[in-house]
Amino acid sequence: MRSTADRYKISRSKLAYLVDSTAAPVAGLSLISTWAATEITYMSEGLSDAGITTASAGFELFMQSIPYRFYPLLALVMVFIIARTDRDFGPMRKAEANLEPPKTRNTKIRQRAEIRRSWIPTLVPIATCIATVLAVLAVTGYQEIGERDPAISFLRYFGLVIGNGQSYWALVAGGGAGWLMSIVTHGWICGSTPDFLARSSVRGAWQMMPAIVILWLAWSLSAMTGKDALDTGGYLSSLLSDTLNPKLLPTCVFVIAGLMAFSTGTSWGTMGILTPLSVTLAIKLDEATGGAGLADSSICLATCGSVLAGAIFGDHCSPISDTTVLSSRASECDHVDHVRTQLPYALVVAVVCILLGTLPAAWGVSPWISLAVGSITLIAIVRWIGKPNVVAELD
């Protein structure tokens, strides 16, 4: 989308924000993904520690907590509001106002005759990549867990198969298959020469080298804050005490998960540390204060949703997050600029999530009401503090 963004006078900072804010939130809300399988596992551990050992309890908790994931849901709403109104504020407004002309190499288009079926080299490799990833995940996941237990629903079984698949090899196989299909379709449809295809492949690979270097450094820093080193996550999780007011638990978990993900640069590590602890603590606190201590209580559902929401929020704000690094590099946006321009939007959504989401949810307010009021509030905020961008003529 880089060339499309250049044509429509959209800054690379805005493109990186759109990519980053529609990636992790969608993955975190997906019912069939490695995220879902991992979350169900962590939730089941927390329920088991609280004395709830029903086979399907983790899956049911996962499904019921989806409406309580206020940050990823409202972050997606914020993306559509910004895109639809074309209003920006803060550093993003400056980035849009000071948009520099794209580099010559990105806008220089060679004049050539229209090619029939030119959509094939674009869509077919993408479809091949996705199909290969899913196939490898399904095969390796089936080898890992075996036949379906009749007591487990097909949807949950399929999610477990995908979640237990070898995601690393699936991405390698999918990327390779997509690349090979791109070469075949460009040579067949567009008549590209082998020399052109080889040089283009090398250029595409070289564009990812800065991202790989930054990721190496980011992972090194994350390892220093891990359990075997500074144990940043363990320290932050220890801030949750048994004397905490249950009504404040979802909000505290959201804030701590955000701080943990920001400090470590990983939402997965945050979920792994906080989810079992938070689920168990929510049930025990609810029971200690006269509640039923069930997994479907508003306190438990809101707390469970707050872990993932806070993890994604901190991930969005962290300069050492792999998703943040990849979003900026893939968009060819300066990494610091991406973090600086996205941060105000993430903070606005987070504040709305706390005031209109986690706090009311702990008191039993329906999450759908919170999401509706939160969406309206975001529209009002963008209309109030955002300023419209000047629409430039297309080249």
- Read off the pLDDT of residues 87-129 as tens digits, 9 standing for 90 and up: 888 888 888 877 765 554 444 444 454 556 677 888 899 899 9
pLDDT classification of 180: cutoffs 50, 70, 90: very high
Tell me the mean pLDDT in the region 384-395.
66
Q: Which of 191-205, 249-263, 268-282, 336-350 has the lowest mean pLDDT?
A: 268-282
Tell me the mean pLDDT in the region 255-281.
81
Tell me the mean pLDDT in the region 54-64.
75
pLDDT on residue 189: 83
pLDDT classification of 393: cutoffs 50, 70, 90: very low
Q: What pLDDT, in 10s, does the model give residues 320-378?
A: 887 888 888 888 888 888 889 999 999 999 999 999 999 998 888 899 999 999 999 99
Maximum average pLDDT range among 234-238, 243-247, 300-304: 300-304
Instruction: Tell whether the model's pLDDT for residue 263 goes beyond 80.
Output: yes
pLDDT classification of 240: cutoffs 50, 70, 90: low
Rounded to the nearest 5°, which phi and psi values hold at 244? -70, 140
pLDDT on residue 107: 43
Tell me the mean pLDDT in the region 75-86.
92
Average pLDDT for the chain:
80
pLDDT on residue 192: 84
- Give the count of beta carbons closer than 10 Å to the beta carbon of residue 394: 7
pLDDT on residue 226: 53
Q: What pLDDT, in 10s, does the model give residues 14-57?
A: 999 999 889 888 888 887 666 777 787 778 777 877 777 665 67
